[in-house]
Structure 1
């Protein structure tokens, strides 16, 4: 019994009084590092080994109470950035950190505006982690030479070796916000190949580079333009262009400098311009140049090839409505060449299903329920010819000729009770005859006098003609019920000059003269055969001077006066 009591007393004494870790308090103020180490050696009965160069000229500031040896080792390691390697219970080596030491690092990630970067990516050795909601991170057991990447969206990534963050007392690491100066963006291949947007906001269409556009089986200049912003055709025709709320008559259409007053076949269903000899179209729907001052809504400046042809070339095409061809002929080598194109419908010979479907769309709102169209003949033709003469380098003279012609013979016949056309002499028939054509001529002289100065002289004549007759046949008597005739004869002359002021700026100026002779005549007959007539002839001369300054060094400026 006595033996058991002694054993219990001994066990209780050992458990209640375990061996305690040594603690000490210090108050170092600008104390030499070597003196601090000497004090710790005595206080904790340990020995430090080091190279004199690593500890020389280092001062320590530390004031704590009742702290163990491990605390002092971590504190001194943080303040000196030296590596304290515990060799045994008694011996501790102090040295510079090397690339293969395994260390622990930590820190807080912030932006250069002191914003905490929560959720930032930290990547190293095919692994990684993210910062917490306070932007803090900690990486344990990583080699000192490990390259660590700090990344956050919108900031410049930072790459740091682990040893650079060693003993930084979890200080703040700064990422700078990424600021990118974006240069002016010029959209190329707008919608498709061959449609480019210029710095001034206009569009340049190059037909020979034009890619496939939705809904088109063959190139059509005007239908291509309808795909651009702000352009639509409420009546679903090719040439009825409404640009930014304007009407078709507010668009200026130029073909090699010739003003066009009639710009479509089949009441605008088909464009009259051959895309295979068209060099480019400059479509201006805003910021119109001063020299196009009469373009209220938009300007379509269509140009054919101005270069001298070096070899004979041509082409032929046909669809279910018309056939077209073009040819490019070198007449005098490197001096004079000729371009010609033409198109003719064969609807007066053969009317295909495609023609009938197009006709139904065009005439769907012109037939009352009590009559039936029994005769619908439509014919159109267009051609253009251009000659180009090269006098010397940068010195050209060209002439152009254009014809656009349409003829319509549209008949309506009364139906009988069975829905068949009436055949007796008391039947009522109507017939519409419409003829429109636009002829044009132009001559251009282009001369580049120096690298910074050039001029262009253009003279044109455009002749528009429209004649409409409406007949009614009743009891085999044909009566003219309405007639209308319109003509426009437009002659113009202009001188354009261009001076390149510097690399970014240019000055254009010029003089324009135009003479427009407009006539109209109409005749209407009512049921009593009473005739109403009206006519008018007007003549308008206009003179204009213009100046345009353009600069696009940093931003685009367009000053018109």
Structure 2
């Protein structure tokens, strides 16, 4: 990463000293002194300087010129010699620490372009012959910052070059579990989980590493409606998750109405999943945080790949342009608008059940990402990221009594761009300045009754953000992080109907200023790692309210005994963006969610507090962990919770509290991994204005169990698993008086809210992946998976509607039936 600035890259001329002379002039002196002639290309020697050798022997002088400059000298006869710049050179060096006091044995030395690699010996020395002069030498060692040096810098030195490596102090993501359930899933010292899609192994029902599908294998993270865009972390709603892509907040996360993740895993380097103990750097997301990162370092060589499955095809590439500039791009598009597959059929049945859409509907999605990485100098790097994603549904319905067909369009788009400037000012002080702009747009248009009636609906989110953070190493084991963040979020909701005339346009803007600070301490033996910090937010909703909110954070891990650690985590968090489920204005029967802003009245700032304590035992072959937690979230509105009973239009403000425990046991070796996880949640609402005031949360899934295993046989990976969940609560009509005739229009007379339970949920999944070598640097992967092998009909939700004839219609939403998928990929 540490390249010299271009103005200092002048070949051998950069080692000019007071005693050196141009090689061209020295050759002229030798021609006069020894009565010889040298033939050479001016471009080969014009930039080379040399210290005159002391010897009076021409052979010795010429040999020294060879060693120092790398020039090849051939003797044609006693008078004529030729000089040519050699294509290969020999290099040697000593690797020391940055004080040049201690050697570093075992450092890895890789020479790109020459395909050479090795390690330093006990004295920190290395040597390579036949090195291409334009090669790049890459030196790395655990605990030190990597070093990049051009091979030609080695040739103009009389002795082996000394390379000093600086200590790396920013080891904030210490991995304490090298394999967690499957390869590519790691648990870190701060109790967060890190997913590395490039190293991902296999999970049941997943033949490709879908990011939002994969994280649901973790205890405490589930989706009650079987989607990836409605993920519930410890009983919270999806809009209460902070989802970041390269530091940019995402307001759209799924394709195909939430059945497929909108983020390409093949350009995602790592994913951080945080359930509690969040860094003070992050604001929002009272339930959990999911942070996706694409590459941050310059790729040395070109890599890429492409693949197809039964829904879509994609392509990606990482392309070095110059030594200090590279780009990463990816593109994916479904072919569901012109080809129906078994996977598309089952997905459609799940997405469009209880809607007006049938097989005549045309649906497709796409996403595109691009990233530019530029090394300004050895200590500063600029990154620019962009992502664009879209879902499009077009539906035409022809009826017998209509001249013109009914036409409907539903489009969901997200465009985001962000940049980061990473700076290293000293070995102790670094900073990061970032900016992003994101825009989310949901457009719905319905034209019916022979083009006479039009319904237009729109939800528009625009958000800008700038953040500055610094990290300072106070002492060797104490790191101090500070920063400032400004966010402006504007949201608009519009509805327009021409017959009968109706128009609604609700706009809001909230500006947020935040100061944050955090200290991290690691004991010398690393038995104790502690992070404590806080965040002070100032919220201003234009013309509505102003409020300060302080959010303390704590994250402590301590090794009680060898292989046994305890974790104590706690946080206060707040957020001002929420989603309402628009039941009154559903489009084609498809549930739409609209983003809205807190206004300090009907929807106050949502605030949470959470504490947890956990214990885990970890060895190479066995991991056992248990966590207990308590979380309370205040300032919720019934509109954001998706009620489908007597409370769905009340607009009351309340809270919910969750008491829970998570247990995981995982046994593993190089060939297999098997695990059993269990999650218990008791999740209750409290709305003082309702009767009763306290009742089960819509997401109160008390028990959740996962039993799964994967096995590797050579190039074949197999996975199978079983998922069990107790039924979520719902509300039934009153048995004795199901309809209330005392109001107009009549209403359903319900029992107590969420007093009934759906049947239990059971699903068995399996998957297989086979990898083969295709040439020297390419490999192919064939994958197959089946969701719900038993084709069990799992009930996801039940609600009721009152018909015109005063009869009650029961609506049942069911899970995916047996869903096969297959994929083929090439990567190089």
Shared topology, TM-score over 0.5?
yes
After TM superposition, the score normalised by the length of structure 2 is: 0.42
| Contact 2:404–2:451 (8 Å) recurs in 1 | no
Deviation at 1:230, TM superposition (A): 0.8
Q: How does 1:378-527 map to 2 (within 5 A)?
A: 378-411=363-396, 424-425=400-401, 431-473=407-449, 477-524=450-497
SS in 1 for 2:207: coil
Q: How does 1:228-247 map to 2 (within 5 A)?
A: 228-247=218-237
> Which one of 241, 244, 261 corresponds to residue 254 of structure 1?
244
Corresponding position of 2:296: 306
Corresponding position of 1:7: none
Corresponding position of 2:33: none
| Contact 1:373–1:412 (8 Å) recurs in 2 | no
| Contact 1:458–1:494 (8 Å) recurs in 2 | yes
Q: How does 1:43-442 map to 2 (within 5 A)?
A: 186-333=176-323, 335-367=324-356, 373-411=358-396, 424-425=400-401, 431-442=407-418
SS in 2 for 1:361: helix
| Contact 2:383–2:419 (8 Å) recurs in 1 | yes
1:60-85 C-alpha deviation (Å, 9 max, x unpaired): xxxxxxxxxxxxxxxxxxxxxxxxxx
| Contact 2:228–2:259 (8 Å) recurs in 1 | yes
Higher helix fraction (1 or 2): 1
| Contact 1:495–1:512 (8 Å) recurs in 2 | yes
Moved more, 429-438 or 293-302: 429-438
Deviation at 1:428, TM superposition (A): 10
Corresponding position of 2:787: none
Q: Distance in 1 between matches of 2:181 and 2:321?
A: 38
- Runs of 4+ more than 4 Å apart: 426-431
Q: Distance in 1 between matches of 2:406 and 2:294?
A: 42
Q: Distance in 2 between matches of 1:185 and 1:468?
A: 46
Corresponding position of 2:165: none
Q: Distance in 2 between matches of 1:411 and 1:192?
A: 45
Corresponding position of 1:533: 503
Aligned-residue Cα RMSD (Å) equals 2.1
Q: Distance in 2 between matches of 1:461 and 1:426?
A: 45
Does 1 or 2 have the higher relative contact order (CA < 8 Å, sep 6+)? 2
Q: Distance in 2 between matches of 1:393 and 1:297?
A: 39
Q: Distance in 2 between matches of 1:265 and 1:538?
A: 27
> Which one of 549, 557, 561 corresponds to residue 519 of structure 2?
549
Deviation at 1:391, TM superposition (A): 2.0
Q: How does 1:1-20 map to 2 (within 5 A)?
A: none
Q: 1:426 to 1:398 in 2, by over 3 A?
A: closer
1:225-266 C-alpha deviation (Å, 9 max, x unpaired): 111111001111122111011111111111112211111110
SS in 2 for 1:478: coil
1:175-223 C-alpha deviation (Å, 9 max, x unpaired): xxxxxxxxx9933311111111111111111111111011101110111
Q: Distance in 2 between matches of 1:240 and 1:412?
A: 29
Deviation at 1:540, TM superposition (A): 1.7
Higher strand fraction (1 or 2): 2
SS in 2 for 1:451: coil
Q: Distance in 2 between matches of 1:539 and 1:295?
A: 18
| Contact 1:289–1:560 (8 Å) recurs in 2 | yes
Deviation at 1:394, TM superposition (A): 3.7
Moved more, 485-494 or 535-544: 535-544
Q: 1:481 to 1:337 in 2, by over 3 A?
A: same
Q: Distance in 2 between matches of 1:499 and 1:280?
A: 24
SS in 2 for 1:354: helix
After TM superposition, the score normalised by the length of structure 1 is: 0.61
Q: Distance in 1 between matches of 2:208 and 2:318?
A: 21
Moved more, 274-283 or 430-439: 430-439
Q: 1:431 to 1:234 in 2, by over 3 A?
A: farther
Deviation at 1:500, TM superposition (A): 2.3
- Bigger radius of gyration among the two: 1
| Contact 2:380–2:423 (8 Å) recurs in 1 | yes
| Contact 1:223–1:239 (8 Å) recurs in 2 | no
| Contact 1:383–1:402 (8 Å) recurs in 2 | yes
Deviation at 1:513, TM superposition (A): 0.6
Corresponding position of 2:692: none
| Contact 2:421–2:434 (8 Å) recurs in 1 | yes
Deviation at 1:412, TM superposition (A): 5.2
